[in-house]
Amino acid sequence: MLSRTGTYALQATLYLAGRADRGAIPASEIAAELQAPAQYMGKVLRRLAGIGLLESTRGVRGGYRLVALPAEISVADVVNPFDGYEPPKACLMGGRCNLDDPCSAHARRLEWIEAQRQILRNTTIAELLSSDVREAAEALQAPTD
């Protein structure tokens, strides 16, 4: 669902949100902690700063920090600049999608895509950091008998 770049952007945002009390955090630290290529992470962070989600500070004590509170930032705010919506190119029934003569599955597929987009718009960074979300995720991953 998310590209590698969108995932790095989300991971970096969550990392910064979880350490907001520390102030600016260097890109090198973020990359190392997330096990992401440093140059790649640097580009992701610069883009997030460029769209106004992060503030960057240069110098010895420089780095990145969130501009808004985690509860005010949706997942869509973070990932959309990297994973913008593109209409499907491949038809579920085979071949290329033909918007002038859509197949029987086309409308349903658009509903799935919109549902995914809605979840990203309605989920905040704060919610992803909450213990309720972690507990729910752990429950889903717990082995069942």
What's residue 137's pLDDT?
56
| pLDDT score for 62 | 87
What the block records as the tokens of 96 is: 């290329």
Cut 0.85: pTM above it: no
pLDDT at 49: 97
Q: How many angstroms separate the CA atoms of 51 and 44, rounded?
A: 11
What is the spatial distance between Cα 121 and Cα 19, in angstroms, rounded to a whole number? 23
Question: Which of 91, 73, 103, 72 has its CA nearest to residue 9?
Answer: 73
Q: Give the model's pLDDT for residue 107.
A: 80
Biggest CA–CA distance in the chain, Å, is 59
Report phi then psi at 76, rounded to 5.
-60, -40
- The residue ranges of DSSP E strands in 5-121, in sequence order, are 54-57, 63-66
29, 63 contact by CB (below 8 A) = yes
CB 39 within 8 A of CB 32: no
Residue 120: per-residue pLDDT: 92
pLDDT tens for the chain, 145 residues: list them. 788 999 999 999 999 999 988 889 999 999 999 999 999 999 999 999 999 999 999 988 889 999 999 999 999 999 999 987 676 777 777 777 777 778 888 888 888 888 888 999 999 999 999 866 556 556 556 555 5
